[in-house]
Structure formats: structure tokens, C-alpha cells
A = this chain, B = another copy of it.
Amino acid sequence: MPLGSRERRKENTRRALVECALRLFAERGYATVTVEDICAEVDVSPRTFFRYFASKEQVLAEPITTALDVLRAEFVQTPPARSVWTGLRAALLATVEHIEAGPEEFLRAAQIVRNAPETLSSSARALLEWELTMRSELEQRLGAGPDSLQPRLLLGVAMVGFRTALDAWTESDGARPLRELAEAALDTLRPAARAIERQVT
């Protein structure tokens, strides 16, 4: 269904705010750009800005937030297929298509975060650094190059197991035994790990 003219105007304002904010962040540095600066460029009031976004952090996260919304909407629409993975895969590839239709903002936001780690919370920054050193350790052990996807996938799969066990444990306020949860999660993921290691390039 096409948007009405009011919705279209709102969507245009929203897009103008995102585009302009990302451009200013890239040009002047995320930390120095204020909401007022963004509003001045787009010629709207801060009140209007805050009708769309709670903070400039939310504008920076907009490309990935939108991608996740697309992913969820696409997945919900997939017919209950033979396997849930088939649905997830279709939804992920549809999201990729959405991103490829206008990749500039996504890339720009990613570059801003990469070049200005202060855009992340201190714990997110610590996690990112941790991942980078773990990844290079895995690359070395697997004999894989820095472009290879396998070290990232293997580390990611291991961390999914760890996080799943920790989440289930903390959600039960410690009642479920953490070690059993971790072993169950890792056992379930073992075929994944083996398949990934077999494909190292």
C-alpha cells in the first residue's frame, strides 16, 4: 500500500535526519556534533528531532535497527516451511537485498563506529577488542587468512553457546545448573563447529 502524503512527509523528514546526521558525524566527528547541529542543517526544531529519535546514538544505530525490523517482518511472513532455517535464510537474504538497495548509510554508520570507538559504551568497546584478539588467535590456529569467514563463524558459534547457557542460567536466577546448560549448548553446536573447521579456506 502506498504511503499517504502525511506519512510520506514524515518518512522524508526521518530520512533527511539520518542522512544529515551521518554526514555530520563523518565530517566533524561523532562526539562534537549535537542534536542542534543536525536540526540546523535539516531546518527542523529539536522538538521535531525528538519526535523521531530519542538521541543521536539512536540515529547512528538507525541503519542496523531498520535492517533488524526488515528481518523480523520478512521472517514472520515466511510460510511455516519444512525447516525454520529455510525461513531464517530467506529472511536474512531479503534483508541483505534491502541493505544493498541503499548501502551508503549502512557503510557510513559502520565506518563512524569503527573510527570513533567512543560511540560505543565502554563494555561494548571492551567486547569488540576482545573479539578482535580472539579472532586473530583463531585465524592463527586455523591457518586462515584475515578475509576468511571461518574463524569469525567458529568464534561466533562458540559464543552463541556460551551466551545461551549464561542467559538461561541467569533467567532461572541460578536455579538451572550452568555447567549442564553449557555442555548441552556446546554439544548441540558441535556438528556446526566441525562443519566450519572442515571448510577453512
Contact = CB atoms under 8 A, between A and B. Distances in A.
Q: Tell me how many chains of this kind the complex includes.
A: 2
Interface in A94-131: 95-97, 99-100, 103, 106-107, 110-111, 114, 121-124, 126-127, 130
Interface SS of chain A: helix, strand, loop or mixed? helix
Interface string A129-159: 0100110011001100001011011111111
Contact of A141 (B87, B158, B159): B87
A34 interface: no
Contacts of A122: 54-55, 57-58, 61
Interface of A: 54-55, 57-58, 60-61, 64-65, 68, 71-72, 75-76, 80, 83-85, 87-89, 92-93, 95-97, 99-100, 103, 106-107, 110-111, 114, 121-124, 126-127, 130, 133-134, 137-138, 141-142, 147, 149-150, 152-168, 170-171, 173-174, 176, 178-179, 181-186, 188-197, 199
